[in-house]
Amino acid sequence: MRKGPAMGWLEGSSIVVTGGGSGVGRAVVERFVAEGARVVVLDRSAERLDELTTALGDSIRAVVGDVTRYADHERACACAEEAFGGLDTFVGNAGLWDFARSLTDTPADVLAAGFDELFAVDVKGYLLGAKAAVPLLRRSRGSIVFTLSNASFYPGPGGGPVYTAAKHAGLGLVRQLAYELAPDIRVNAVAPGPMATGLSGPKAMGLADTTIAREVPIDRIVIEQSALGVAVRAEDGVGPYVLLAARESATTTGTVIDISTTGIPRRHG
Ligand SMILES: NC(=O)c1ccc[n+]([C@@H]2O[C@H](COP(=O)([O-])OP(=O)(O)OC[C@H]3O[C@@H](n4cnc5c(N)ncnc54)[C@H](O)[C@@H]3O)[C@@H](O)[C@H]2O)c1
């Protein structure tokens, strides 16, 4: 889809993005930088972070780490303070998918271990990131933005019970943290729908080396089933992240912008 020019909405902002090495996170990091922000990217893949540093240079700092570990979030936030003088926005985005593995077809031990692994990234990773970012965000009266999903609202083939429950939990986090952290820190989210990215799954479910782009004919499904009838790319959804992070959204908190095109079905005939 056609992109508009950058407007400098995040000029001078310092932002931490988790999972910024690929997919949604990478597209968001690129747009944040174009809008004038400087960004610390926390990702477990050193290789992806190297690529990003080569592409974006001094506007970013790369922190190799795991979002399930509080100390790694602390390192990312300390890096933002040291390199960019503080923190204006924390974006929790790194996630795993369960590839729609069902309750009935998944052995109980796999289900239990997959739950622990996926919730540790998609839910605990957001909680610990917020915890580490709060002291700096209070100072800047900044904001938190989480990446949720169509699975935060709707059941269906977009997830199995593990992923859908995790993304619903993310919605609970947005609402509870918006309440708890007010009036100093705004907390919002963006909920994308299906798209071809590097999204992988829990090792415990045998899905660590699988990606949504490889395993699922996602473009065809989205074209056939979604209102707009076009395949979605990660960069198509960056606008709401910019909007929610920007100071122009000073009274927006506890909100989720649902950008999933599959929420409205395709109109045939
Ligand atoms: N792709 C989709 O269809 C889709 C749809 C709706 C929502 N989402 C959500 O978008 C977010 C980003 O997913 P994506 O599609 O861009 O996937 P992606 O795999 O392309 O990007 C995720 C990044 O997170 C990193 N990561 C994963 N686990 C990590 C960990 N424990 N610690 C640090 N980094 C880790 C990966 O290395 C990767 O670079 C997720 O929260 C996902 O649930 C994706």
The architecture of the domain spanning 14-260 is 3-Layer(aba) Sandwich (3.40)
Residues 6+ apart with CB under 8 A from 108: none
Q: Whose CA is nearest to atom 36 of ligand 1?
A: 19
Residue 1 has pLDDT above 90, yes or no: no
Q: What does the pLDDT read at residue 239?
A: 97
Ligand 1 midpoint to CA 202 (Å):
12
Q: What does the pLDDT read at residue 150?
A: 95
Question: Is 241 one of the annotated active-site residues of the chain?
Answer: no
**22, 72, 153, 221, 259 from 77: Cα distances, Å:** 20, 9, 30, 38, 28
Ligand 1 midpoint to CA 24 (Å):
7
Cis peptide before 183 (omega within 30 of 0): yes
Q: What does the pLDDT read at residue 82?
A: 98
Average pLDDT over residues 48-70: 98
CA distance 252 to 130: 18
The residues spanned by each domain of the chain are 14-260
Ligand 1, CB within 6 Å, residue ranges: 19, 21-25, 43-45, 48, 66-68, 93-95, 97, 121, 147, 149, 192-195, 197-200, 212
pLDDT tens track for 224-269:
988 899 999 999 999 999 999 999 999 999 999 999 988 888 887 6
**66, 100, 162, 178 from 192: Cα distances, Å:** 23, 16, 18, 20
Residue 225: CB atoms within 10 Å: 16
Q: What does the pLDDT read at residue 2?
A: 67
pLDDT tens track for 15-51:
999 999 999 999 999 999 999 999 999 999 999 999 9
Share of the chain above pLDDT 90, in %: 91
Average pLDDT over residues 116-124: 99
Q: Which of 154, 163, 179, 241 is catalytic?
A: 163
The residue whose CB lies within 8 Å of the most ligand 1 atoms, and thus the one to mutate among 42, 43, 117, 262, is 43
